[in-house]
């Protein structure tokens, strides 16, 4: 069980669940125009996805620049999300 938590494959499974979640939300929005607008959700979701990718890089012992790039991309996505929500 300890190996599972140290494996980057667990992060892959979480990323697949996030992608499925976004697809379902987009599908519901297109059919009913109810719920969360996928366009409004995208920047927030991308920030989380890039954090998960950074975790995957750390678990897989990827070179430091991949980890730094994922963290930087997460910061950019977070700033875009804040700009979108700022009123």
Tokens 């697949």, residue located? 16
For residue 74, give every residue at least 6 positions away whose Cβ sits within 8 Å of its Cβ, in sequence order, or none.
Answer: 46, 47, 48, 50, 51, 54
Residue 86 has pLDDT above 80, yes or no: yes
Cβ within 8 Å of residue 75, ≥6 positions away: none
Residue 4, pLDDT above cutoff 80:
no
Q: 9-31: per-residue pLDDT in tens?
A: 999 999 999 999 999 999 999 99
31-77 pLDDT per residue, tens: 999 989 999 999 999 999 999 999 999 999 999 999 999 999 999 99
Q: What is the dihedral of CA 28, 56, 4, 10, to 10 degrees?
A: 10
If phi > 0 it is left, if psi is from -120 to 50 it is alpha, else beta; for residue 78 that is alpha
């Amino acid at each position: 069980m300890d190996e599972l938590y140290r494996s980057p494959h667990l992060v892959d499974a979480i990323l697949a669940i996030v992608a499925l979640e976004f697809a379902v939300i987009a599908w519901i929005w297109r059919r009913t125009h109810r719920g969360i607008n996928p366009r409004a959700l995208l920047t927030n979701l991308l920030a989380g996805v890039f954090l998960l990718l950074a975790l995957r890089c750390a678990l897989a012992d990827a070179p430091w620049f991949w980890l730094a790039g994922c963290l930087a991309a997460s910061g950019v996505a977070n700033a875009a999300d804040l700009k979108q929500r700022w009123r």
